[in-house]
């Protein structure tokens, strides 16, 4: 297996990405190769500073960097020698099994859609976030930012995508799927919520349990929570904000410590023909390590294949 890592992506690159790759290397099996994509001289310099041999990794020279200021749709053709552009080219050609980056999220989404292409039947790919529940479980929230405006058929597909992800990667049998709403009753919500509820309640593709409210997100009531990307991103940032506030106030709590983004590392783009993992821009070495370990899980689970089967 070959896992591609964008060394240039993230606020603390290349130091954090190199350190994270070294940590992941210690935990992954010998038949897993981490492919570092970035400026070759910079990579070799960083490894030498740590007393590590370049032979530990496969290094691909990618001198250009797509920054957060670059326009997502223009960045890939404008910077063909960037780590993200070359990473997707290698992934599309089968030279990588998965490609992970903490870089420009928009560019990663564009690359996923236009370099890998969307799985037939999927209207819009999306990204997820895994939230900790009070009963020591996990809840998959989607979408969390890639699709701010959605129609009911798109949210329906998010439910299917989230269900496949929860069962395949998180090993949750028959995941309980819920729709995030302002009330539990069938008639509650805006026109989008009401229309989506009707679609979800009439299908046997998923284990739909109905509406849940914001106070139920962390209770473990649902394994998968569906919403548009605008709402999901607000929920995600609020969860991150709670963790940050507690940390600043010196409050130590076993449950809230699980809100730490470092624990999750990254999330796959669901609905495309390949494995692309998007990490947090502020990722440190621990987050990068966990992103790579999760990338390994995604490949082993055949997630993209399972999603393709679900839609075809």
DSSP 216: G
Confidence at residue 231, expressed as pLDDT on a 0 to 100 scale: 96
Confidence at residue 178, expressed as pLDDT on a 0 to 100 scale: 98
* Order of strands across the sheet that contains 276-279: 58-61, 33-38, 2-6, 98-101, 276-279, 266-270, 126-132, 138-142, 224-226, 176-180, 207-212
Confidence at residue 281, expressed as pLDDT on a 0 to 100 scale: 87
Rounded-to-integer distance, Cα 258 and Cα 138, Å: 10
Q: Look at the domain 1-122+271-312 and name its fold.
A: Isopropylmalate Dehydrogenase (3.40.718)
Confidence at residue 261, expressed as pLDDT on a 0 to 100 scale: 78
Q: Collect the ranges in the chain with pLDDT lower than 70.
A: none
Confidence at residue 207, expressed as pLDDT on a 0 to 100 scale: 97
Beta strands per DSSP E along 1-118: 2-6, 33-38, 58-61, 98-101
Confidence at residue 262, expressed as pLDDT on a 0 to 100 scale: 78
Confidence at residue 282, expressed as pLDDT on a 0 to 100 scale: 86
Give the helix ranges, DSSP H, for 64-183: 72-78, 83-92, 105-111, 152-168
Confidence at residue 263, expressed as pLDDT on a 0 to 100 scale: 80
Rounded-to-integer distance, Cα 165 and Cα 71, Å: 29
Q: CA-CA-CA-CA torsion for 135, 136, 140, 144, nearest 10 degrees?
A: 100
Confidence at residue 271, expressed as pLDDT on a 0 to 100 scale: 96
Confidence at residue 50, expressed as pLDDT on a 0 to 100 scale: 96
H-helix or E-strand containing 141? strand 138-142
H-helix or E-strand containing 229? helix 229-248
Can you read off the two tokens belonging to residue 218? Answer: 């962390």
Confidence at residue 187, expressed as pLDDT on a 0 to 100 scale: 87
- How many angstroms from the chain centroid is the CA of residue 15? 22
Question: Domain ranges in the chain?
Answer: 1-122+271-312, 123-260
Its pTM surpasses 0.75: yes
Residue with tokens 């910079």: 42
Confidence at residue 78, expressed as pLDDT on a 0 to 100 scale: 94
Q: Please state the length of the chain.
A: 312
Confidence at residue 35, expressed as pLDDT on a 0 to 100 scale: 98
Of 146, 138, 160, give the one whose Cα is nearest residue 226. 160
Superfamily classification of domain 123-260? Isopropylmalate Dehydrogenase (3.40.718.10)
């Amino acid at each position: 297996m070959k896992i591609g890592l964008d060394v240039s992506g993230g606020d603390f690159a290349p130091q954090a990405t190199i350190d994270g790759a070294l940590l992941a290397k210690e935990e992954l099996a010998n038949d897993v190769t981490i492919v570092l994509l970035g400026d070759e001289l910079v990579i070799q310099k960083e490894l030498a500073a740590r007393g590590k041999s370049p032979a530990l990794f496969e290094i691909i020279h990618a001198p250009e960097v797509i920054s957060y200021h670059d326009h997502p749709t223009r960045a890939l053709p404008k910077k063909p020698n960037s780590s993200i552009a070359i990473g997707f080219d290698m992934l599309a050609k089968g030279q990588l099994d998965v490609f992970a980056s903490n870089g420009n999220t928009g560019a990663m989404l564009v690359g996923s859609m236009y370099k890998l292409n969307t799985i037939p039947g999927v209207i819009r790919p999306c990204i997820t976030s895994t939230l900790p529940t009070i009963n020591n479980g996990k809840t998959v929230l989607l979408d969390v930012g890639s699709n701010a405006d959605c129609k009911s058929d798109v949210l329906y597909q998010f439910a299917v995508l989230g269900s496949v992800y929860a069962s395949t990667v998180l090993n949750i049998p028959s995941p309980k799927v819920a729709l995030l709403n302002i009330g539990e009753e069938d008639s509650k919500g805006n026109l989008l919520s009401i229309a989506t509820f009707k679609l979800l309640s009439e299908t046997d593709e998923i284990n739909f349990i109905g509406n849940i409210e914001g106070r139920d997100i962390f209770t473990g009531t649902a394994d998968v929570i569906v919403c548009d990307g605008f709402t999901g991103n607000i929920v995600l940032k609020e969860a991150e904000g709670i963790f940050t506030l507690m940390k600043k106030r010196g409050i130590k709590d076993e449950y809230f410590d699980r809100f730490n983004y470092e624990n999750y590392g990254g999330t796959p783009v669901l609905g495309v023909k390949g494995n692309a993992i998007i990490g947090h821009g502020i990722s440190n070495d621990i987050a990068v390590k966990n992103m790579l370990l999760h990338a390994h899980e995604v490949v082993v689970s055949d997630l993209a294949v399972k999603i393709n089967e679900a839609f075809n």
